[in-house]
Amino acid sequence: MVPIVSGMAMGPAYQFRKLSFTVNELDYPIESIKAEIDRFRLACHKTLTLLSKTKELSSAVYDDQFLEIFESQIALLDDDIFLSEIEAHIRDKKSSAAMAVFTVFREKMDYFMGLKNEYFRERAMDIQDLKNKILHAIFGVGTEYQISVPSVIFADYLSPSDTVHFNRNLILGFVTDTGGRTSHAAIVARSLNLPYVINNQTLSKIVQADDFIILDAHAGHVIINPTEKTIGSYKKLKKKYTHIVLELKKESGLPTVTRDGIPIEIAANVEFLNELAEAQSCGAQGIGLFRTEGIFLEKEGLPDEEEQYHVYRRASEELKDQTVIIRSLDAGGDKILKELDHPVEQNPFLGWRAIRFCLDEREIFKTQLRAILRANINNNLKLMLPMVSSLREIQETKSVLDEVRLALKQEKIPFNPKIDLGIMIEIPSAALMSDVVAREVDFISFGTNDLTQYTLAVDRTNQKIAKYFNDLHPAVLRLMQLTIKNARALKKEISICGEMAANQEAIPILLGLGLRKLSMSPNAIPRIKKIIRMLNAAECEKFANRVVTLPSESEIQQEAKKFIEKTIANEDLLI
Give 187 or 388: the residue with its C-beta nearer to ligand PEP. 187
358 is catalytic: no
Judged by CB under 6 A, the chain residues 471 through 490 that form the site for ligand PEP are none
Instruction: Based on the shown chain and the rule CB under 6 A, indicate whether residue 497 belongs to the binding site for ligand PEP.
Output: yes
Which segment (96-104, 193-201, 398-406, 443-451) binds ligand PEP by CB under 6 A?
Answer: 443-451
Q: Minimum CB separation from ligand PEP for residue 182, in Å?
A: 6
Sole window of 130-138, 154-162, 338-346, 448-456 interacting with ligand PEP (rule: CB under 6 A): 448-456
**What is the smallest separation between the CB atom of 493 and Mg ion, expressed in angstroms?**
19
Residue type, 401: L
CB-wise, 9 or 502, nearer to ligand PEP? 502
* Contact (Cβ atoms closer than 8 angstroms) between residue 143 and residue 410: no
425, HSE (Cβ side, Cα atoms, 13 Å): 31
428-447: contacts with Mg ion (CB under 5 A): 447
From the number of C-beta atoms within 10 Å of its C-beta (0-12, 13-18, 19+), residue 250 rates as exposed
Mapped onto helix, strand or coil, the DSSP state of residue 321 is: coil
Nearer to Mg ion, 55 or 327 (CB): 327
Q: How many C-beta atoms surround the C-beta of residue 299 within 10 A?
A: 12
User: For residue 37, how many C-alpha atoms fall within 13 Å in the half-sphere facing its CB?
Assistant: 15
Q: How many amino acids of this chain bind ligand PEP (CB under 6 A)?
A: 12
Q: How far is Cα of residue 104 from the mean position of the Cα atoms in its chain? A: 35
Spatial separation of the C-alpha atoms in residues 174 and 15, rounded to whole Å: 10
Of 250, 176, 283, nearest to 520 by C-alpha is 283
Q: How many CB atoms lie within 10 A of CB 488?
A: 13
Catalytic residue among 282, 358, 497, 540, which?
497
- List binders of ligand PEP among 450-469 (CB under 6 A): 450
Q: How far apart are CA 422 and CA 495, in angstroms?
A: 11
- Cα dihedral 78→79→82→87 (10° resolution): 50
- Verify binding: residue 498, ligand PEP, rule CB under 6 A: yes
Q: Does 522 bind ligand PEP (CB under 6 A)?
A: no
What does DSSP assign to residue 272? Answer: S
Give the C-alpha distances (Å, rounded to integers) separating 103 from 53, 70, 135.
Answer: 27, 22, 12
291 binds, among ligand PEP, Mg ion, none (CB under 5 to 8 A by kind): ligand PEP
Q: With binding defined as CB under 6 A, does residue 187 bind ligand PEP? A: yes
Nearer to ligand PEP, 51 or 431 (CB): 431
Whole-number Å distance between alpha carbons of 354 and 327: 10
Catalytic option among 89, 184, 218, 473: 184
Alpha helices in 342-464 (DSSP H): 354-360, 362-375, 391-410, 428-432, 434-437, 448-456
Residue 216 or 450: the one with the smaller Cβ distance to Mg ion is: 450
Binding part of the chain for ligand PEP, among 62-70, 217-225, 444-452, 486-494 by CB under 6 A, reads 444-452
**Among 87, 216, 278, 426, which residue interacts with ligand PEP (rule: CB under 6 A)?**
426
Site for ligand PEP in 307-346 (CB under 6 A): 330
| Backbone phi, psi, residue 13, to 5° | -85, 145
Q: CB of 312: closest distance to ligand PEP in angstroms?
A: 17
Question: With 0-12 CB in 10 A as exposed, 13-18 as middle and 19+ as buried, what is 520?
Answer: buried
**What secondary structure letter does DSSP report for 571?**
-
How near is the Cβ of 117 to ligand PEP at its closest, in Å? 37
The answer to whether 181 contacts ligand PEP (rule: CB under 6 A) is no
Residue 563, CA distances (Å) to 25, 75, 372, 567, 572 in order: 51, 68, 42, 6, 17
Closest separation in Å from C-beta 183 to ligand PEP? 9
Q: Give me the 401-430 binding string for Mg ion, x by CB under 5 A, dash otherwise.
A: -------------------------x----
Say if residues 532 and 264 touch (Cβ distance below 8 Å): yes
Least distance CB 501 / ligand PEP (angstroms): 9
Segment near ligand PEP (CB under 6 A), from 171-179, 404-412, 442-450, 522-530? Answer: 442-450
Residue of 159, 367, 448, 567 that binds ligand PEP (CB under 6 A)? 448
Backbone angles phi, psi at 473, to 5 degrees: -65, 140
CB 363 within 8 A of CB 403: no
Judged by CB under 6 A, which stretch of 15-23, 388-396, 441-449, 479-487 contacts ligand PEP? 441-449
Q: CB 18 → ligand PEP: shortest distance, Å?
A: 22
The Cα–Cα gap between 35 and 372 comes to 59
Q: Is 497 a catalytic residue?
A: yes
| 258 or 328: CB nearest ligand PEP | 328
Q: Count how many Cα atoms sit within 13 Å of the Cα of residue 16 in the half-sphere of its side chain.
A: 25
Residue whose CB is less far from ligand PEP, 3 or 447: 447
- DSSP character for 67? H
Is 275 among the residues that bind Mg ion (CB under 5 A)? no
- 333 lies in the binding site for Mg ion (CB under 5 A): no
Q: Does 532 bind ligand PEP (CB under 6 A)?
A: no
Single residue of 447, 512, 522, 526 touching ligand PEP by CB under 6 A: 447
Residue 450 binds Mg ion (CB under 5 A):
yes
Residue 422: φ, ψ to 5°: -130, 170
Q: Give me the residues that bind Mg ion (CB under 5 A), please.
A: 426, 447, 450
Catalytic center residues: 184, 497
Q: Give me the residues that bind ligand PEP (CB under 6 A), please.
A: 182, 187, 289, 291, 330, 426, 447-450, 497-498
